[in-house]
Structure 1
Amino acid sequence: MSVTLIIIILTVGISIYAWSNEDLLRNWIFHPFSVNKNHQYYRFVTSGFLHADWMHLFFNMLTLYFFGEMVETVFIYHYGPQIGIFLYLLIYLGGMIVADLPSYIKHKKDYDYRALGASGAVSAIIFSSILFNPTREICLYAFLCMPGFVFGLLYLIYSYYQSKQMGDNINHDAHLYGAIFGFILAIFLVPGSFGSFVQQIAQWGIF
């Protein structure tokens, strides 16, 4: 069983359990005020295994399923099973942590602010995948398809714009910083990946 599937199973199980266990939800959710006051740094990670509802959970885990195993395979190919899996988890869990840092800085004195979900970690995996295979098509709503590098650019622009609007309850900062983290770290972890990224785009059919 792949690490990606193990993460999905754990996340689904914990999320469902937390929906009926308020103590777990309260103790694991990302709460910058508690992190700052009580040094509960574990919340950077535990909150990534919680989700608000079925739709939130389904979308994140389906996306992770589609992109995660490809990224996991790349790391195992370059480094072998043990180190490869460690580096894959570094991308995933690191994206989870880095994605929440802007929210922590903004809201560490705001008692009412809370966040949850694996969106930052999943964004890190998506953008690692785009680095490795930038011309692979990504489809939105099953019919609007585009090369990964085009999707990635639009995703960054949209996330940045929405993070400034603060008009919904989605943590767009987590999407933005998780994506950037995953892309940059993958460049350093897989030698030659950025050169290959540029070459694949240069050879893409439209050119």
Structure 2
Amino acid sequence: SYLKNQKNPNYLSLGASGAVSAVLFAFILLSPWSVIFVLFIPAPAIIYAVFYVGYSIWMDRRGGDRINHSAHLAGAAFGVLFMLMMQPSIFNHFLRELGNPSFRPLG
């Protein structure tokens, strides 16, 4: 983000949304079928993740909304990669969970 916008005097990037994305995607890796609520609408976490990544890529390319979508994407990638580096067997757990859908609410 910095390199892309280093000459843009109107560009600002402040917040913790990238870190929140990292935590969210680490959770999705562990429990992809958990039901999460997005604007009070229930959705399986893995479905939310697909739409979140797609929307973030689209809005990052489109621009104009003063939101650092690349930070969201980088945070999501970091959350997944960090979990896999710390415990590589989580990947097999994720695949097993994907193959056995069981929609369960958080909590």
Query: 1:173 pairs with 67, 70, 80, which one?
Result: 70
Distance 2:5 2:67 in 1: 15
State the Cα deviation string for residues 56-79 of structure 1 (Å, max 9, x = none): xxxxxxxxxxxxxxxxxxxxxxxx
Distance 2:66 2:11 in 1: 11
Q: Which residue of 2 aligns with 1:125?
A: 23
| Higher relative contact order, structure no. (Cα contacts within 8 Å, ≥ 6 residues apart) | 2
- Which of the pair is proportionally richer in helix? 1
Q: TM-score, normalised by structure 1?
A: 0.47
Distance 1:205 1:124 in 2: 23
CA root-mean-square deviation: 1.5
Report the Cα offset of residue 115 of structure 1.
1.3
- Which of the pair is proportionally richer in strand? 2
Report the Cα offset of residue 113 of structure 1.
2.1
Task: Tell which structure's C-alpha radius of gyration is larger.
Answer: 1
Q: Which residue of 2 aligns with 1:158?
A: 55
SS of the residue corresponding to residue 9 of structure 2 reads: coil
CA contact (8 A) 2:30 2:94 kept: yes
Q: Where does structure 2 lack aligned partners over 5 or more consecutive residues?
A: none
Q: Percent identity?
A: 37
Q: Where does structure 1 lack aligned partners over 5 or more consecutive residues?
A: 1-102
Whether 1:138 aligns to 2:36 is yes
Q: Which residue of 2 aligns with 1:114?
A: 12
Equivalent positions of 1:66-85 (< 5 A) are none
CA contact (8 A) 2:18 2:75 kept: yes
Equivalent positions of 1:40-79 (< 5 A) are none
Q: Which residue of 2 aligns with 1:190?
A: 87
